[in-house]
């Protein structure tokens, strides 16, 4: 099969496949590159029950030896203890530098597996087979890997690109509606920062998106990954423009952490995007109708618009530990109209407090 497109960076070329039943072709795509002595599939226990047998069978049919490692579902698995457990099992399996990992799951699994691959034996190959919409449209591509720490979300990580990304839209049929909505937050984000016509497309196709129409979802996933690839190709290591992909994430990460990760990542990002949109409005970059348009679309996809019960001051304090701090100042990704972004550290503390207070419902 021919990939939908290929991400080209200085360090790696990453083919991206978006195909129904892609899981059944993983063995072929691995073996076409090379024959590793062992392929270790990392998944969470819920996803493994649904799809691991199909993936392991694909590897076996291509003559590849494989093993399965599972972690508990949920963001709590993005931690040092689970990473150490994976390392223990890789050691037991005698996985050397010529081994390979395959991540089968959502963003937690792709981030965790990617970081394990980046650090085991100082770096081994891996591939991503995402199974959630959040991972399909964002986390699976771009080479960011990592785990959470008490200091904040994704505070420990590395850049390490997958050998390929294989998105199977049929997996969305087993995904709860809440998780579909969470993934749509990242899709809205890409439209807001990079493609106004894509936001129009979301509005025009909202009902088909909500019903998870296979043709529409394949287009949604492909367009998202192409937007992300375009950004990453310009700035692989987030030295400048790639920071735009963090629109909504500075406040969103704080909201997510303060919810003790009970809130989905995309849900927290939706709230963060509204706060960032309000900051954009207060700085004269975005008008009121644009904010209302964003709010309406977020609500249409059953995403939250408020972080009820959270303290605005706690959120603001957590943003001070954000990874995008430069010279002691937060770097804010703001909207300079629909489909355009700007990055600045010049935001008055009063505007930040006002915007956070609004999304906390206070």
Catalytic residue among 161, 202, 265, 330: 265
Q: Are residues 288 and 317 in the same domain?
A: yes
Contacts (Cβ under 8 Å, ≥6 apart) of 335? 192, 193, 247, 276, 277, 280, 285, 286, 290, 341, 342
The residue annotated as part of the active site, out of 160, 190, 202, 242, is: 242
Q: Which of 78, 160, 190, 228 is catalytic?
A: 228
Show which of 131, 147, 174 is a domain's final residue: 174
In the numeric block, the tokens 């420990």 are attached to: 156
Say if residue 225 is in the same domain as residue 167. no
Give the model's pLDDT for residue 99.
Answer: 98
pLDDT digits (tens, 9 = 90+) for 271-307: 999 999 999 999 999 999 999 999 999 999 999 999 9
> Band of the pLDDT at 11, cuts 50, 70, 90?
confident
Cβ–Cβ < 8 Å for 324, 250: yes
Residue 298 shares a structural domain with residue 194: yes
Quick one: pLDDT at residue 127? 98
Q: What is the pLDDT of residue 108?
A: 97
Residue 325 reports pLDDT greater than 80 = no
Mean pLDDT of the chain: 96
Q: Are residues 221 and 134 in the same domain?
A: no
* pLDDT score, position 327: 64
Task: Say if residue 343 is in the same domain as residue 270.
Answer: yes
- For 179-232, the pLDDT digits (tens) are 999 999 999 999 999 999 999 999 999 999 999 999 999 999 999 999 999 999
Nearest to 26 by CA among 50, 61, 67, 68: 61
Distance between alpha carbon 178 and the CA centroid of its chain, in Å?
A: 16
Exactly one of 10, 94, 122, 173 is catalytic; name it.
Answer: 122
If asked whether residues 124 and 38 sit together in one domain, one would say yes
pLDDT, position 86: 98
Per annotation, catalytic residue among 128, 148, 224, 246? 246
pLDDT of residue 153: 86
Residue 326: which pLDDT band, with cuts at 50, 70 and 90?
low
25: annotated active-site residue: no
pLDDT at 321: 79
State how many domains the chain has. 2
pLDDT band at 324 (very low <50, low <70, confident <90, very high): low
Residue 362 has pLDDT above 80, yes or no: no
Tokens 């770097």 appear where?
A: 331
Quick check: is 228 catalytic? yes
Q: Which of 174, 202, 229 marks a domain boundary?
A: 174
The yes-or-no verdict on residue 323 having pLDDT over 80 is: no
Query: Quick one: pLDDT band at residue 48, thresholds 50, 70, 90?
Result: very high
253 is catalytic: yes
Is 67 in the active site? Answer: no
Domain extent, residue 95, equals 5-174
9 in the same domain as 21: yes
């Amino acid at each position: 099969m021919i990939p939908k497109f290929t991400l080209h960076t200085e360090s790696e070329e990453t083919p991206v496949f978006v195909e129904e039943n892609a899981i059944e072709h993983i063995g072929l795509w691995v073996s076409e590159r090379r024959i590793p002595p062992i392929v270790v599939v990392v998944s969470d226990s819920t996803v493994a029950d649904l799809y691991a047998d199909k993936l392991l069978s694909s590897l076996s049919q291509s003559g590849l030896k494989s093993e399965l490692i599972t972690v508990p579902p949920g963001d709590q698995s993005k931690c040092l203890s689970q990473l150490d457990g994976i390392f223990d099992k890789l050691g037991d399996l005698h996985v050397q530098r010529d081994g390979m990992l395959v991540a089968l799951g959502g963003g937690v699994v792709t981030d965790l597996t990617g970081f394990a691959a980046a650090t085991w034996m100082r770096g081994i190959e891996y591939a991503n087979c995402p199974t959630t919409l959040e991972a399909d449209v964002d986390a699976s591509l771009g080479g960011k890997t990592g785990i959470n720490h008490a200091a904040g979300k994704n505070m420990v990580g590395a850049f390490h690109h997958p050998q390929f990304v294989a998105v199977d839209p049929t997996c969305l049929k087993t995904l709860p509606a809440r998780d579909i909505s969470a993934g749509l937050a990242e899709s809205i984000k890409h439209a807001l920062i990079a493609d106004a016509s894509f936001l129009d497309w979301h509005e025009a196709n909202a009902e088909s998106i909500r019903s998870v129409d296979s043709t529409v979802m394949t287009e949604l996933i492909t367009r998202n990954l192409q937007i992300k690839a375009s950004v990453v190709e310009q700035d692989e290591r987030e030295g400048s423009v790639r920071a735009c992909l963090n629109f909504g994430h500075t406040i969103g990460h704080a909201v997510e952490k303060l919810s003790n990760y009970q809130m989905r990542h995309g849900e927290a990002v939706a709230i963060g995007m509204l706060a960032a949109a309000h900051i954009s409005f207060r700085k004269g970059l975005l008008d009121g109708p644009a904010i209302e348009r964003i709010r309406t679309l977020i609500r249409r996809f059953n995403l939250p618009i408020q972080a009820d019960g959270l303290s605005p001051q706690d959120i603001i304090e957590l943003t001070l530990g954000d990874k995008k701090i430069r010279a002691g100042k937060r770097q804010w990704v703001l909207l300079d109209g629909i489909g355009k972004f700007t990055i600045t550290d010049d935001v008055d503390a009063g505007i930040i407090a006002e915007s956070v207070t609004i999304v906390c419902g206070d």
